[in-house]
Amino acid sequence: MMEKGSNSRWGNSIGYVMIPLWMKSENDIFEYIRRSKTIMDRKKLSLEPLFSYTLFKLTVEVFGYKALRTLAMRIFGRSTVVLSNVAGPTEEISLFDHQISYVAASISGFPQALIVHITSYVNKAIINLGVDLDVIPDPHHLCDHIVEALQIMKSAVEEEISGDLGV
C-alpha cells in the first residue's frame, strides 16, 4: 500500500450478512458448526455482502455520516447479537520496536446486549466481549462458559482426529 503507484487502498471495507442463530442441543458437537459454515459459505458467495457494502458506501457519499449512523442503528438495532471475526497478522508485529502481544477489535454504541469480536493474531485467537451489564451482570461467568465450550470442541476434534488415525 505504501509503494508509489500501488493499486491497494487504505481503510476498511465493511460488509455484513444476517444469519439466524438457533438454540438446539445436537448429539454431534460439530453439527451446529457444520450448519453455520454452510449458511455462511452460501451468504459469502451471494450478493448480500456486496449490497450491504455498496449501501453503506452510497449512504455516506450521498447523505453523509449522520445518515450512515442512522441506517446502521436501524439495521443493527434490530439484531440480538453482533459477531465479528477479523483475520489479523500471521506474523508478529512491532510498533516503535515494542512487540505487539495481541490485537483486539471492538465497537461501541450499538444497542445489543452482547457484542463478540474474534480476532486472530499469529497463532492466537483473541475473543473480545462487549456486554450490557443490565442484561449480562457477570460477563466473567460468560467468558468462563465460552472458554469451557472451546475446550470441549478442541477435545472433540482431538478425539475425532485420533479416531480417524486409528490411535
Over the stretch 14-51, which tens digit does the pLDDT of each residue have?
666 777 777 777 788 788 888 888 888 888 788 887 88
| Secondary-structure percent of the chain, ordered helix, strand, coil, rounded to 5 | 40, 15, 40
Grid cell digits, residue 88:
489479523
- Same domain, residue pair 128 and 154: no
- Given CA atoms 156, 37, 91, 88 in this order, what sign does their dihedral have? negative
In this structure, what DSSP letter does residue 10 have?
Answer: -
- Same domain, residue pair 127 and 141: no
Domain-embedded: residue 19:
no
Q: Whole-model pTM?
A: 0.66
- Provide the domain count of the chain: 3
- Same domain, residue pair 74 and 85: no
In angstroms, the CA 137 to CA 110 distance is 18
E strand or H helix at 126: strand 124-131
pLDDT average, residue stretch 126-135: 86
Domain-embedded: residue 69:
yes
Q: 69 lies in which domain range?
A: 27-78
